[in-house]
Structure formats: C-alpha cells, structure tokens
Chains A and B, each alone.
Chain A
C-alpha cells in the first residue's frame, strides 16, 4: 500500500478500496520503522488519525474531498495552527503559530492528513539538512537500519560482496580500462568498501540534501505520499535529487508564501515532493492560485490541468553549456549526456545554448541571500515571540543575548555578512551590484526562451548524495557554493524547474536531472517531465521489508 503513487492512492480511496484510517495507521507504522532517518521535527500522528477518521466518515457517505485520506508532511518552516513551528532553530523551539500557512490550509481543506513537520537546516539555510537543532537528516538510500543490523548480526561481509559486484559489473560491461584507471577503480572500490563498512556500522551515512531534507526523506521512505518544502536556491530540488524523488519548484508567484517563514522573500517559493511527476501536478493543481494574503501571488486565473501524453517531436530542448561546471562528477555528466541523446533519439530538437552569467549566479545568490536574511532576521528580538534570554540589562543586550543562543553560527554569519553588504559605503558595491547581475542572469533565460527553446535540460546537483563525513568537513558556505550551482539561477529568474530521478549510480545512489521551464508554463514543464520520467523508469526505493 505504501509503495503506491499519490494518484493511485487517491483513486483507491475515492473508490473505497482503501480505508483512510488503515492507510494512516500503515504510514504511522512505517514512520516508526524509519525514525532513525530523523526526517521529522514534530510528529502529529494523533492529529493525522483524527483527520483520517474524518476522511473515513466522508468515504462512508461518498462525499469525499479531492485529497481525502492522503498522508502528507510539511516542512517545519510553514506555520501550522497550534502545532509548533520551529525552523529547526532554538529561536522558535516553542513557537505556536496562531494560523495556518495558505499551503497548509489548502492541503487540509482538501482532506489531506498531516503526519508531521519535517526537519531542515536552521531557517532553511543550508544544502545538507545537517545544521538543525534536532540533528542531521539521513538519506534512506544505501542506509543500514538498526532493525536490519539486529536481524543480520554477524553478517558484516555482505557489504564487501555488494561492492566487488559493482567492480565485476564494470568488467561485465566490457569497459576497457588502462592499467592506471584499473588501479584507480580498484582503489575506489577499496575506499568504497571502507565507506560501506562505516555506513553499515552506523557511524556514517549519505546526506539527504537540503534544506528540505526531511520532506524528501519522508516521501522517499514511504512515510507519506507528498510533502511540502520551500525552495530559495534549490532547497526542494537538491534533496529530491539525492533522495530519488520528484522535486518541483513552481514559477515565483504561483504558490502562496503566506505563513511560510521567510528566508529570502524575492526568491522563496513553496515546493512539492512526490514520487512521480503526475503526483506533483495533482498537488500543484490543488495548491496553486492567487492568495489575498500574499500580494506576490499573481492574480490571473489558475487552471487545474491533467498532464497529457505528448509526442516530443516538436519540442526544442536546450543544453546550457555553462552547466558543465568544474566539480561535476563523471556519473552525473554521463547521465546528462545520455538524457540529451534520449530526447534527440525520440525526435526532439536538442541544441546547445548559452546562459553566460551562470558562473556568477551562485556569488550573486550569496550576496542577495545574506542581505535579505539580515533584514528578515531582524524580527527575532525575543520579546513578542521566540526565545528570550535571561538578560534585563538593556533592550539591546537582551536582544543580542537571545539571538546569540537562538541562532546557530550559519545564521549569525549570514546576518553579519548581509549587514556588511548593506553598509552605506558597501550598498552600491555589493547589494546593488548583485541585483544588477541578477538582471543579467534573468535575461540569459529570457533570451534562450525567445529563441524557440521550450525546456532546458541540466543536472540538478554536481554529484550524487555525498557521505556525511565528507560533507561536514567544510563549512556551510563552501558546501552551498558547490551544491547549489545548478539550482539557484532558476530562483534568480523565477522560472519553474523540476528534478527528476533518472537512474542509480555505481554506488547505488539516485542520479537526477533538472528540467527548467518558462515562467507560468508550469504544466508544460511537468508534461515534458512526465514523458521523460516514463522513458527513464527510475527504480523507486522500496522499504516494505522493514514493515
């Protein structure tokens, strides 16, 4: 039941083949089995059960709502009425919002059941979901669960077998190797074995990506069928890519940000995690549209659309050459090339295009992000809400002491940097300069799309999911600069993009690619993504052996 798609689950609930209550119980049981992945900051199982009962009653009277009984999870930076909303920060550890974010309200009004709030990097600042006061999120792929270890105690050798198999698979594929590359592969195999041992002993694991890592893991591990995340520079697409699920960032202005605790107002977009592209379209249909509480949602009518099956013969796919950046892995590069060919063989026109300012986008992002963060974080003073320190010397001392405890080093660092860039003598030099570069980045996209290119095909991330031990060697800023190179230009331009898992790497981890569409043509983008998904037939993670 838990490996169904959201579309199938909706269908079976509407038909009365699945009882909403039973489904909810199964999801709660799965959540308990995969608890060590640390995907949730707050579990709301009792609330979910009540919602599922209400759904079951509606099922009995055949007056169901469109998402009745569908278990979902929400990133812990969307306000939920009466349910603590923490942003994984000490600052909001006990914050109880008096209202629901519009995205949450829409999910619940359509009958969905809320299983919990998901873990993230503090205030969404990060790309690993490791900088959270609740500890890091773990990727379910290649993960050795404790319950598994208990069952397999004494069978440690299994790991070695699986890795020598990848080496022999290489040989079986007849890949011709020089002595040098053979020794490289052997060395890598040995390193991989060592890594696998660490992974199996529980001391290391693959990161989930971030900042919406908890939502990605909740969907990938079968706890729920859809989840909300937020995407400022790639925070939905990056973890979706690492966890092998679909991650959709709609056009800026399509989904309401009301009740989404802001990180960077001009870049933030609510995003959707599901197992298939069609599932993402279903949730998008129910979430989209103008919101009187968010003046940055556009007021032109939003039409729900099913994704048609298409022929891609008339389509023009652009391959932006600047997305071959230093640091891209062989594995990702090959998948990208393979996918470009796949479109071409199916009859699409595939051309190389240029987005010349791509290289500077991540630098521009770092400046704009810090500036808006410095301004947005000014609201946390410990007086009206949030953590209040025991200091009554003066207002400024109280605020500084509260913020010192309430924010981690990453948040504090971005506030300092932002205030530096915004200093009177630096305002032109950094903030205005970055906004000018932003226009050039945005125009790069417009120029390409005006030349008859329909969709851009790029990698989502430069590598597959890295190991926690490796990822945590460098600071948050360095990792963001590496990991968000392909995702944040999309936020700069406000265009929609979706990460689609494509295949498994030699190490058995998901490899994903990104499709980038044109502003307000979200359904067109998803239609192509659906076609692509049908061709690649990605093997979804099945954890049913845990139940």
Chain B
C-alpha cells in the first residue's frame, strides 16, 4: 500500500516538473495566437464581370489564348485575391519600384564590348534565311476562340 502511494507521489512530482519545464520552454515573446486581422470579403470591391470583349483584349495583349473557361476562372480568382490590397490605407504613400532607389546605380560607358557572335545568336532560332530571322505576315489581329464550345 505504502509503495503504491510513493510511486503516485513520485510520478505526480515528475508531472509537475515536466509542466514547469514546458512552461519554461515556451517563450512569451512569440504570440500564442495568430495575429492576422480577419478580412471581411463583403467590404472588398466586387470583381467586375470578365466579358468577352475584356477576355479578347487580354488575349491580344498576352498573345496567349485562354482556350477554355478554366483560364477565365483562374483570372477571376487572382483578381478576387488581389482585391485584399484595398484594405490597406496608402494615402500619401509613394510607390516603391526598386529597393535601390536611394543609391545611384552604375551605368557603364557607352562602348561596344562584344560582337561577332552572329552564329551564337542564330543557332537558337528555328527558322533562319540568309542570316535573317523569319516571321509570317504581320498586322493581322489574333482570332478569338469561342470559350463556351471548348469544354
């Protein structure tokens, strides 16, 4: 009987010591709960309808075809996600386009430093005629594809 009590007492002090160690182990500097502000989607701007004209325009700019509705949906989601930016107050903030904005970046002298590499350059072109790159007729706009008929 005595022996059993002793074991229990021993194990409870061990538990206590472990609890203490655990408490000690956890730093108070790292927050215990996530600190992000929940975003109320209702407050964000609505994604405008991506009508055929917009889609065709984007295809022409991108020179890639959407081909199916999935591509349009992917774009919709990307815009919806980006709209969270409108939660941030940027009144009076200047845009930042380079982290080196306060440094003068180096410009080298306007001298020819290489050349005579015609063969090197042309070797990567699939079609060459007499050292010229070859392109089919220009100034013909991209034909739009019908998104609805292709799955």
Contacts and interface: CB of A to CB of B under 8 A. Distances in A.
B55 to A, nearest CB: 9
A420 B75 contact: yes
B88 A416 contact: no
A44 interface: no
Interface stretch (A189-197, A201-209, A391-399, A503-511): A391-399
B37 A433 contact: no
A434 B140 contact: no
A383 B125 contact: yes
B90 interface: yes
A326 B34 contact: yes
Interface of A: 95-96, 98, 174-176, 252-253, 266, 290, 292, 295-299, 319, 321-322, 324-326, 328, 333-334, 336-338, 340-341, 344, 350-352, 357, 359-360, 363-364, 366-367, 370, 374, 381-388, 391-400, 403-404, 407, 409, 412-413, 415-417, 419-421, 423, 430, 432-440, 442, 475, 477, 481, 493-494, 519
Contacts of A363: 81-82, 84-85
A360 B36 CA distance: 10
B88 to A, nearest CB: 5
B82 A437 contact: no
A367 B58 CA distance: 16
Task: Please indicate which of the listed interface residues B18, B29, B57, B100 has the most CB atoms of chain A within 10 Å of its own CB.
Answer: B29
A416 B99 contact: no
A337 B30 contact: yes
A298 B14 CA distance: 58
Task: Please indicate which of the listed interface residues B30, B71, B79, B107 has the most CB atoms of chain A within 10 Å of its own CB.
Answer: B30
17 contacts: A321-B35, A322-B35, A338-B27, A363-B84, A363-B85, A384-B133, A391-B136, A400-B64, A412-B64, A413-B74, A417-B75, A420-B75, A423-B58, A432-B95, A438-B95, A439-B93, A442-B96
B36 A325 contact: yes
Contacts of A351: 29
Contacts, number: 232
A407 B143 CA distance: 19
Given A397-B143, A398-B136, A440-B88, 7 more contacts: A298-B103, A299-B106, A340-B27, A370-B78, A382-B126, A409-B74, A412-B64
